[in-house]
Amino acid sequence: MEVSLYPGCSLHGLARAYNESIEAVSKTLGVELRELDDWTCCGSSSAHVTSDKLAVALAARNLGIADKVGMDLVVPCAACYQRLKTAEKHLKQGKPVEGLSIKYEGNFHIKPMPDFLWENVGEKALREQVKKPLKVLNPVCYYGCLTVRPPKVTDAKNPEDPQGMDNVLRSLGAKVRNWSFKTDCCGGNLALTRPDLHMKLAQRILDMAEEAGADCIAVACPMCHDNLDSKQKEISIEAGKSYNIPIFYFTELMGLAFNDPAVETWLGRHTVDPRPLLRQRELI
C-alpha cells in the first residue's frame, strides 16, 4: 500500500521519536509512505493568527503537490491536519488562493495517522504483527482539539468521542480506559502568551487521566506530546503534587507491541522516562 505523507516541520525536529516510530511501524505493516516532494510549512504555528490569506496559501501549496500525486495524504501532526483540511475546504469551493495558481481536483482523502491505520490498514493487519501484547498497559488516548474541531472543517466522524487511536491500541491488547477528556485542549498554544492557563489546562488532563485509572497517555500530536511530557516538573512545582505520567506517541506503543528493536531509542528522548513503567510491566 502506498500513500503520500505530509510530515510537517515537527517530525524532523521536536517529534523525531514520532517520525521514526511511524516509519518503523509502517514498514512492518507493508505501508510505503511517500513524503511529498518540496513540501513546505503549512503555517499551523503562527500564520493562521497572522494572516488568513497566508494561512490558506501555505497549506494550499502543499495540497497542490499532493493533488498531482493523486494518492491519499496521511498527516501525523494534528495542527497540520487541521490547516490542510481548512485549505481543502477553500479549494473545493473554488475560491482563489492569493499568490498561487492551482487547478485543484482533490480526488484524494486527507487522513490523520490513527484513522489511516485503523480504517485503511485495518485491524487484521495490526493484530497479525503483534509479538508482545500490551495487556498490562492501561492507557487513555488523548486526541486534543485539532483533529476533531471544528467538525465542519475536520470532517471528524465522532468529534466528541473519536475512536481511531483507541481501536488501534485495543487491537494491540492494551486495556484502553474510557474518559471524557480525550478532546479537551491541553493549552499548548498558550505556552508563551498565557502560561498560567496553559499549566492549568495541562494539569487537568493529567489529573483526569489518573482519575480514569490510566498508567500512561497515548497521543498523536507533537504539540500535545511536548506540552504534557515536558511540563510535568513545572506543573508538579506549581500544584504541590508530583506528576510522573508517561506520555507515548501511539506509534511508539505499536512499535513496542511489534517488538521493534528501536523502541528504547525513541523512549529515551522523552522528558518523563516511560521505561521504568515498561520494565515494571516486563514489556522491555
The grid coordinates of residue 167 equal: 481501536
Q: Could you tell me the CATH number of the domain that includes residue 80? A: 1.20.1050.140
Say whether both 136 and 98 belong to one domain.
no
Report the alpha-carbon distance of residue 36 to residue 196 in Å, rounded: 38
Task: Single out the residue in 79, 113, 147 at which a domain terminates.
Answer: 113
Containing structural domain, residue 38: 2-113
Say whether both 254 and 180 belong to one domain.
yes
Taking each helix axis from N to C terminus, what angle separates 164-171 and 250-257, rounded to the nearest 10 degrees? 20
Taking each helix axis from N to C terminus, what angle separates 250-257 and 16-28, rounded to the nearest 10 degrees? 40
Say whether both 79 and 191 belong to one domain.
no
Report the alpha-carbon distance of residue 196 to residue 47 in Å, rounded: 24
Q: What is the model's pTM? A: 0.97
The letter for the amino acid at 219 is V
Say whether both 85 and 178 belong to one domain.
no
Q: Could you tell me the CATH number of the domain that includes residue 242? A: 3.40.50.11810
Query: Residue 192 pLDDT more than 90?
Result: no
How high is the pLDDT of residue 44?
85
Say whether both 9 and 72 belong to one domain.
yes
How high is the pLDDT of residue 74?
98
Residue 240 in any domain: the answer is: yes
Helix H or strand E encompassing 55? helix 52-69
Helix, strand and coil content of the chain, in percent to the nearest 5, comes to 50, 10, 45
Say whether both 147 and 266 belong to one domain.
yes
Task: Find cell 498490562 and name the residue.
Answer: 136
Of residues 262, 209, 277, the one with CA closest to residue 18: 262
The grid coordinates of residue 169 equal: 491500541
How high is the pLDDT of residue 47?
80
* Domain count of the fold of the chain: 2
Q: What is the mean pLDDT of residues 158-186?
A: 97
Report the alpha-carbon distance of residue 141 to residue 163 in Å, rounded: 9
Say whether both 104 and 190 belong to one domain.
no
